[in-house]
Structure 1
Amino acid sequence: MAHTCTPNKRVLILGASGGIGGEVARQLCNADWQVVALRRALDSQIEQREGITWVRGDAMNRQDVLNAARGCQVIVHAVNPPGYRHWGERVLPMVDNTIEAAIAECATIVLPGTIYNFGTDAFPLIAEDAPQNPHTRKGRIRVQMEQRLRDATALGARVIIVRTGDFFGPRAGNNWFSQGLITPGRPLKKVFKPEKAGTGHQWAFLPDVARTMVALLNRRETLEPFARFHMKGHWDEDGTQMTNAICRVARRYGLDPKISAFPWWQIFLLAPLIPTLRELREMRYLWNLPVCLNADHLERTLGAEPHTPWDVAVEATLIGMGCIAHSPIASVMAQNR
């Protein structure tokens, strides 16, 4: 029997236990979507928690993904292999499984994009159609992912890619903010600055990214089958605004952190022994040159990009990471989400 594509508000999220996947799941729940999430570690086949239907399964298993996606009009592909040891071997098979499910369900795939796809020939201001000539292994894999997604649109799938700067947020998971700038779970004493002096850098507050994705999904029928959008997010024009915002917020809590240069020499020394540090070393070029995403297309589409002010976003992030105590500002933000 032929599959019939019928509109609904049912979405499958792959990677819902991670930073971006979890935030998108919460935002979609708040927008009255039926949210299904795939997770390997479940005691039962199906669990209901906080408005999300959790289904036991593995994004590496095609049948698991096909089963979980049944009846879904949207699939959010926010899953990454844990760590970096098998990243190259698992990323493409997982996106292929998502593509097969999207074709079967006539679904729209949403992918959180990265700037790793681009090399220095696309800098400093990057448009959606800029050439993708990455410098790194991870970037080359991301280019392949996006090409496979583009090809899938000829077979009935639709794709929305939302590309941003470096994530930060109260539940953002592993990212440069938590791994490179501060130490989570401890009162702030030191803030590291990875940028070369005077170099601009782009950040993206995770709740703003999720709100942007939800807004685009609400317009998905009006978008191109392969739609790419760049977010402006929080543009740090000289590499000081993020560290200064962290220090401003910390001082309201009686803390006085010092700003120090990021110890790149330690990364280079230990990188041969630790996979995560090898990845950080590969990405240093993104801190030595200004890299800014051109968000004109997104602003024309939405009218205005969701944007949380610097200090409110940073305060919520530091609270979520256990570096400062709860505050009224974060409470107001949570109520408005």
Structure 2
Amino acid sequence: METTKAALVLGATGGVGGSVAAALARHGWQVRGMARDVTSLRNKGQMEWVQGDAMQRADVMRAAEGAAVIVHAVNPPNYMNWDKLVLPMIDNTIAAARAVGARVVLPGTVYNYDPAKTPVVKAGTPQNPTGRKGAIRVALEQRLEQAAPEVQSLILRAGDFFGPGARSSWFAQAMVAPGKPVRRIVNPARGGGHSWAYLPDLAETFALLLDRPERLRPFERVQFEGLYDDTGMRMVDAIRRVCGRKVPVYGFPWWAMRLLAPFASFPREAAEIAPVWQHPMRFDNTRLVELIGSEPRTPLDEAMRATLIEMGCIADTPLPLLRQASA
């Protein structure tokens, strides 16, 4: 790969990694994706595929040769064993970036903060996690900060994902059932103030930031504002408008997650992040606007329609028909 505009994407088979890889390719980057099994990926996407495991430093070092950017969008398989896998993987990425002179790029999370005490997240907001996963994410970002300026890095933090490709998301796993007509909506929000990120807009933002590396600090934290659902119903209302009917809405069974937390992994993970859905948390994108100008923003109904089409929940009919149906 040519170093000046060459990127290695770890986690390129996932929603965030795949979307960022596609955005970089559109912006003229040479993109290489690493996956544990590339047998079925050789002709998938506008990228070169190499086989490797993010837990194996030699694999990451080899895949990073010639890269100017390493996108660290990899998570433990099935989101298990965070305490054993997350930090070793970022250590391998940092080592590879140091060896080739690349910038590490990380999608940031909300888990680093206590939602009850952090209504607005800025670049310098103190990180005060309340759960195990948040503490690990704080340690991960500290690794990057300590490696600078020798290893430069960019963290772009956003809320919950929705959009084409965002399958491991609260939207696709809780609110709407993939592959089925929308007959009901499960709303996890317990009030207003939840932040959402439309994945194509977030991926485009990554590409815009990396197009102007000279503007970035050696260690840069940037916040993606996305959609701030001030009422707790804006996403629900958008689903209804796009579907053209008043779909019934049910609350998410948070009480059941608390009861089942000792016995199963999903309820345990859900119970840990429940405060994110209870307390308002907004992302201040002042620094992002300084760097790229206005944040990419697809109109909500257009974004929701693309999301539901890709999930197989509605047909890809012309938008005017949907508007007439919802009138």
TM tier, smaller: over 0.9
Shift in Å, 1:138: 0.4
Q: Which residue type is aligned with residue 201 of structure 2?
A: D
Which residue pairs with 1:223 in the alignment?
Answer: 216
Name the SS of the counterpart of 1:83 in structure 2: helix
- The equivalent residue for 1:10 is 6
1:192 aligns with 2:193: no
| Deviation for aligned residue 1:234 | 0.7
Task: Identify the residue that residue 214 of structure 1 maps to in structure 2.
Answer: 207
What is the rounded CA distance, in whole Å, between the counterparts of 2:211 and 2:76 in structure 1?
29
1:20 is aligned to: 16
Aligned counterparts of 2:96 and 2:169: Cα–Cα separation in 1: 29
Percent identical residues:
46
Aligned to 1:326: 316
Q: State the match for 2:252 in structure 1.
A: 262
Return 94-103 or 219-228, whichever deviates more: 219-228
User: 1:122: how far off?
Assistant: 4.6
Which AA in structure 2 matches 1:242? M
Match in the other structure for 1:167: 161
Counterparts in 2 of 1:104 and 1:292: CA distance versus 1, 3 Å: same
Aligned equivalents of 1:123, 1:185: Cα separation in 2: 36
Q: How does 1:57-68 map to 2 (within 5 A)?
A: 57-68=52-63
What is the aligned partner in structure 2 of residue 333 from structure 1?
Answer: none
Tell me if the contact between 1:11 and 1:73 (Cα under 8 Å) persists in the aligned partners: yes
Tell me, yes or no, if structure 1 residue 90 matches structure 2 residue 80: no
SS state at 2:7 partner: strand
Give yes or no for the alignment of 1:141 onto 2:136.
Answer: yes
Paired residue for 1:56?
51
Partner of 2:323: none
TM-score calculated relative to the size of structure 1: 0.91
Query: 1:260 is matched by which residue type in structure 2?
Result: Y
Structure 1 unpaired stretches of 5+: 1-5, 331-337
**3-state secondary structure, aligned to 2:111:** helix
Size of the aligned set, in residue pairs, is 319
Distance 1:58 1:98 in 2: 11
The whole-number CA distance in structure 2 between the counterparts of 1:7 and 1:51 is: 17
Runs (5+) with no aligned partner, structure 2 = 321-327
- In the alignment, what sits opposite 1:334? none
Deviation digits for residues 128-186 of structure 1 (CA, Å, limit 9, x no counterpart):
100001001000000000000011114x2110100001000111121111122111111
Whether 1:238 aligns to 2:234 is no
Does the 8 Å contact 2:116/2:279 carry over to 1?
no
Asked whether the 8 Å contact 1:84–1:276 carries over to 2, the reply is no
1:202 and 2:195 are equivalent in the alignment: yes
For 1:272 and 1:49, how far apart are their aligned partners in 2?
40
Partner residue in 2 for 1:70: 65
Aligned match for 1:116, one of 91, 111, 123:
111
Give the aligned partner of residue 266 of structure 2: 276
Specify the SS of the correspondent of 2:18.
helix
Deviation of the 1:47 alpha carbon: 3.5
**In 1, Cα distance between the equivalents of 2:3 and 2:42?**
25
Report if the CA contact (8 A) 2:34-2:51 is conserved.
yes
Deviations 1:9-56 (A, max 9, x none): 110000000000000111111112111111111339x93543211001
The amino acid that maps onto 1:224 is R
Cα distance between partner residues in 2 of 1:274 and 1:84: 13
Q: How does 1:30-45 map to 2 (within 5 A)?
A: 30-43=26-39
In structure 2, give the amino acid aligned to 1:175.
S
What TM-score, normalized by structure 2, do the two folds share? 0.93
Coordinate RMSD, CA, aligned: 1.7
Deviation at 1:261, TM superposition (A): 1.3
One-letter code of the match for 2:82? Answer: W
How has the CA–CA distance of structure 1 residues 43 and 260 changed in structure 2, closer, same or farther, with 3 Å as cutoff?
closer
